[in-house]
A and B are shown apart, each in its own frame.
Chain A
Amino acid sequence: MNTSKKATILVVDDENGVRQSFNMVLKDIYQVLLSASGREAWEILEKKKIDIVLLDIMLPDANGMDILQKIKEMDPNTEVIMVTAVKEIQTAVKAIKLGAYEYIIKPFIVDDVLTIINRALEKKNLIEQVIYLKDELNRYGYFEKIVGSDKKMLGIFDLIQSICDSDGAVLIQGESGTGKELVARAVHNQSSRKNHPFIVINCAAIPMTLMESELFGHIKGAFTGASSTIMGKLELADKGTAFLDDIDCLDVNMQAKLLRVIQEKEFEKLGSNKVIKTDVRFVAASNKDLPDLIEKGLFRGDLFYRLNVFPIRIPPLRERRGDVELLLQHFLDLHSRRRGRPGRSFSREAINALTEYDWPGNVRELQNLVERVATITKDSVIGLKDLATLSIGRKHIKDMPLKEAVNAFEKQYITEVLESVDYSRKRASEILGVHRNTLLSRMTELGIKE
């Protein structure tokens, strides 16, 4: 993106007076290149990056329209402004349909030329920014948010790539905190539906009585309190993706209704007979064992098979311990960037301890831990002692020198007592059997903050 240096404008006109006029007007603000013919212009375009071309419609050796098309093929982001005499306006309008930004009539008004060029450059800069940001988002969204080098995760990435353009339903299974929604978003973002909505339906969070209205919408007066017509989530997800999280929480009734929508690709709003056609890709997730729930009669087998076209199983973090170090550094980097403190890391001992931990809460638990420790600890390198207040570090205190281990234990114990009495130092000192001043002194020495 050309943000700080001057934009480059190429003026292509066989009349010297016109070239000189443009040069006079633009040279103070932009870098100006002049050419008297189509051939000269093309030589310059092949060698230099040009932001704007002021192109005469009638050149001695070429047709301005042909040059316009060639420029747009070479770099669609180069803006072309046609320069034309009054009698050629029809051609100029045709040029705009072929991709020219605007046209200028000779003899031109200086202010108009400067305004048009300014606007063309703004448009160019905006397009370049969007391309850049989309690219960053693609890279960042897909690779950085689902961090993993373990071969099970690489297998999932490959699977996502291969299924993303199908319309088949996806069923994501994995323990809580493994990133099921991230995987669902990745499936959507890699598909041709990426420019359409990704709608999340949290089946665990929505009361059963409201679920039907939430999914299908309702018309005014459909029930007491329905004061207006509302679009449901399925209607909002049209042409996009509907992500049904914790799908096991849907009651059997709703499961039947959902199955019908998936099969028939249509539904009615609550209170209405009008059929609404739907084009939605369904992605569902659950941390329960669905086949087990089917056996118990709590989940419909036919719905399961409809959703399980592409099953994705996300392994718990303990099954991919190799990714713990990667994830720790990833979340620490995010935290550090937000706080303007780059270059922080975990010590080798801390990483080893955290890798051995089983992470019942998976990646979410890891992320929370990093957030907590990185906020509380001021050092650039986060060590084992900083984890001592957490249950994770406890079993590794035995590897520390005695004094350090005693301090770590004391810090943890005092913190737990303070937390239990809401940080009342009076009550804490009574429980600990020490004077308040002693407590305060130990808190300061051990770095315990309220």
Chain B
Amino acid sequence: MFSKVCAMDVKRQSSGKKKILLVDDDAGVMDVCTQMLQHHGYEVTTSISGEEAIDIFYDMHFDLVILDMGLPGIDGLSCAKEMRKQKNDVKIVISSGNCSDVLSGKESPCNCFHILQKPFTMSELICAVSNAMGRC
């Protein structure tokens, strides 16, 4: 049975797979997304909070970040900005329950590749990730 990967336990691996950082405070959603992404050949690291995600991001290289906007503590937008400071061209997929707010907001996350409206399906997630990965 798949068990969630704790951010601090991750070892650096050069498996050749694309690496994704998945940030969502809902454990169930995160678990399912992880399974699907792994099934599609991605290496997935998860985090349930923005602060932890930023720490992990500083520590490791990721090809893509999937970021939930509605995080407790530091929100997804601030999290994205912090990550941009570290790596300006980091690819980000935003997931939100209310994408119209995200798009019309004054400080929209710049250079985000895709916005996923929750609830999204597996195919929508994989499509968004593939598109984002494709633009490198």
- Chain A residues proximal to chain B, CB less than 8 Å: 15-18, 20-21, 23-25, 27-28, 106-111
Contacts and interface: CB of A to CB of B under 8 A. Distances in A.
Interface of B: 1-2, 26-29, 31-33, 35-36, 39, 118-123, 125
23 contacts: A15-B28, A20-B26, A20-B28, A20-B118, A20-B119, A21-B29, A23-B119, A24-B36, A24-B119, A24-B120, A24-B121, A24-B122, A24-B125, A25-B32, A27-B119, A28-B121, A28-B123, A107-B27, A107-B28, A107-B32, A109-B35, A110-B32, A110-B36
A27 B32 CA distance: 13
Q: Is the interface of A mostly helix, strand, loop or mixed?
A: helix
Contact of B29 (A24, A28, A106, A108): A24
Contacts of B123: 28
Contacts of B27: 17, 107
Contacts of A111: 35, 39
A25 B29 contact: no
Contacts of A110: 32, 35-36, 39
Contact of A109 (B1, B26, B33, B122): B1
B31 A107 contact: yes
Most buried by B among A21, A23, A24: A24
Given A17-B27, A17-B28, A110-B32, A25 B118 contact: no
Contacts of B125: 24
A155 to B, nearest CB: 63
Most buried by A among B32, B118, B119: B32
Contacts of B122: 24-25, 27-28
A17 B119 CA distance: 10
A207 B118 CA distance: 79
Contact of B28 (A21, A27, A28): A21
A163 to B, nearest CB: 60
A109 B26 CA distance: 16
A20 B122 CA distance: 11
Given A24-B36, A28-B121, 17 more contacts: A16-B26, A17-B27, A20-B26, A20-B28, A20-B29, A20-B119, A21-B31, A21-B32, A24-B33, A24-B119, A24-B120, A24-B122, A25-B36, A28-B123, A106-B28, A109-B2, A110-B36
B123 to A, nearest CB: 5
Contacts of B36: 24-25, 110
Nearest to B121: A27
Contacts of B2: 109
A23 B120 CA distance: 8
A110 B122 CA distance: 11
B120 to A, nearest CB: 6
A15 B26 CA distance: 10
B23 to A, nearest CB: 15
A25 B120 CA distance: 9
3 smallest beta-carbon distances between A and B, as pairs: A17-B28, A17-B26, A21-B28
Nearest to B25: A17
Nearest to B28: A17
Contacts of A107: 27-28, 31-32
